[in-house]
Structure formats: C-alpha cells, structure tokens
Amino acid sequence: MDSSTAYSPLSISTTDVYLVFSRVDARLPPTLDPHQFAYRPNRSTEDAVSTALHSALTHLDKSNTYIRMLFIDFSSAFNTVLPTVLITKLSELGICTSTCRWILDFLTNRPQSVRLGNQVFLTLILNTGIPQGCVLSPLLYSLFTHDCAPLYNSKIFIKYADDTTVVGQIDNNNESAYREEIHNLAAWCVNNNLTLNATKTKELIVDFRKSNSRRHLPVNINETEVERVSSFKFLGVHISEDLSWQQNTSALVKKAQQRLYFLRSFKKSHLSPGILTSLYRCIIESILTNSITVWYGGPTVCERKALWVKGGQNRSMHHWHSTTCH
C-alpha cells in the first residue's frame, strides 16, 4: 500500500455537530433513497444483501433471463465531495437556509495538520470532502448520493455508505438498458466529482440457462474493461456465480478456526468462564451469525456440521437462524 494514501484523518464531533445532525435527520422523509441501507434506522448490511439476492432470484425464476451484478468501487469517496454541490442538494431536500450555511461553513476552510510525536507538520486548508469520523459525515454523504438512482425499474442500485452495487435484470439477452445505466452512472460520478475506479470495480454474472454458451461481452467504464469474477465478497458475504454457499461457508469456518486459536490461548491464562464466553461471542459468534438469515438455508448438511462445531454447543447455528428469522 502506498504510504501517502494509507492514512486518513479522523475528526472528533463536537456538540454543535450533533445538534445539526439531529436537525437535518428530522427533516428527511423515510422514503428518501429506499435502497440506501447505511445510516438508516432498522437497516443493516444483511438487509442490503437480502434485497440484492431477492431481486436476482425473483428475476431468475422467469425464462430466458440472467443477472449481471456490478460492484462499484469509488476512490476516496468521502474526500471528493464538493460542499457547494452538497449544499444545493440539501436545499432541494428542504433543509433550511441557516442549516445549509452552517454546513457549508463547517466543510470549507478546514485546517488539517499531522502530528508525529512532538512534531507538527504544515497545516493545510481543505475546501473539498467531508471529515471522516464525524457523526454528521455519513448522513451528508448519503444525501449527496441520494439522486444516484437507476432510470429503469429493471435495474436496482443497492447502496451501503460508499459501496454501490448495480443489479441488472436481463431478459432475452437484451443488455441495452443495463449498459445505459452504467454509462449514466459513470456520467453522474463525473458531474459530482466522484472517481469511479474501474480497475477495482468487479462484475458477477449469474446465468443458469442451458444455452448460456453465448459469450457475455464485458462492460467498459471510462474505456477500461471491468473484470468479471466468479465470486465476490459483498458486504461480508461471499456471493458466487452459481449462487451456492460453499465458498462463504468455507471462509466462515476458516476464520472461526483462526479465532478459536486465540480463544484457547486466553483459556490457558485461566480467565473466568464469563470473560471467555464474552470473548467467544465477540470474536467467533459474531462472525458465524453475520447475515445468517441470508445464507444459512443454503449450506449442505456437512457444511452446517462444520459450522455447528465452530459455533459451540451452548447456542447452535440453527437456534440463531430460527430466532433471527422469527
């Protein structure tokens, strides 16, 4: 990793920032940007993955159809937000003028410096971007991108913070609308000063047709061909082109095994059972139950047994899945 881009500054939120956050959040309708799953009450990555897979599976039930999923990568999305463009969008959403002025003042002429030990380096004045670590920034970013929406009903943009996924529902090999959506998305990024990284953007194609020997032409973004992958880790869940859960289950078991090693090391230190239980729930159970309502119905019997062993006897995976779904 390039040392010059390996670090990002973090901002500490003050009381007035929390007040503005509450004021802006209270003015927003709950129907705004329905496919943005971050920074919204009662929403999570699990909901985002479920929505993407549900739309894909529902479409695949029809004849002569397939799915193209484009996982967009933005370069330093928070750091490239233009405050003036953001304020215009906030005004259009009905945020009062005084609040918009405060936000503009907050985002412009921001001093930033780096301290290493007792040495403080040259202070820079920033007029672009929103400070990471600030409680207001995630909300502002979601509002900045709320108008990034598909033109066609057959295409869905799944958003989670700066992670954006295009779910293209293709009928009868007609990809014109899908490719138009990608073209419009790239144009939207240019108009809003966001850098779409075509090199890190990946595409997954799900095609169960018997006659799928037809070669799927690649997607190009800004004259760069997007790489097609057989699987992709989408918000913590491995999705494969055959929609099986073998890779996801194997990854979970492997990660849980690594964490079990640390848990055994802690046990040798004669920690109390209560502390060991808390550690297990934090470092192992949290991994095994991540988005469990999405994938648990898919693994084979053998794969489930491997998960049960790592999940322990005190609370089975089936119990977690049942209680979460109901």
pLDDT at 27: 78
Cβ atoms within 10 Å, residue 128: 14
pLDDT at 300: 80
With CA atoms as reference, report the closest residue to 120 among 129, 109, 130, 111. Answer: 111
pLDDT of residue 193 exceeding 80, the answer is yes
pLDDT at 309: 61
pLDDT band of 218, cuts 50, 70, 90? very high
pLDDT of residue 321 exceeding 80, the answer is no
pLDDT of residue 308 exceeding 80, the answer is no
Q: How far is Cα 320 from Cα 254, in angstroms, rounded to an integer? A: 20
What DSSP line would sit under 182-230, residue for residue? HHHHHHHHHHTT-EE-TTT-EEEEE---TTTTSPPPPPEETTEEPEE-S
Supply the pTM of this predicted model.
0.85
pLDDT at 319: 55
The overall average pLDDT reported for the chain is: 86
Residue 111 backbone class (left: φ over 0; alpha: ψ -120 to 50; beta: rest):
beta
Long-range CB contacts for residues 197-200, cutoff 8 Å, separation at least 24: 197/73, 197/74, 197/75, 198/222, 198/224, 198/225, 198/226, 199/224, 200/73
Span 308-318, average pLDDT: 55
Q: How far is Cα 73 from Cα 75, in angstroms, rounded to an integer? A: 7
pLDDT at 229: 96
Q: Which of 40-44, 196-200, 258-262, 269-273 reaches the highest mean pLDDT?
A: 196-200
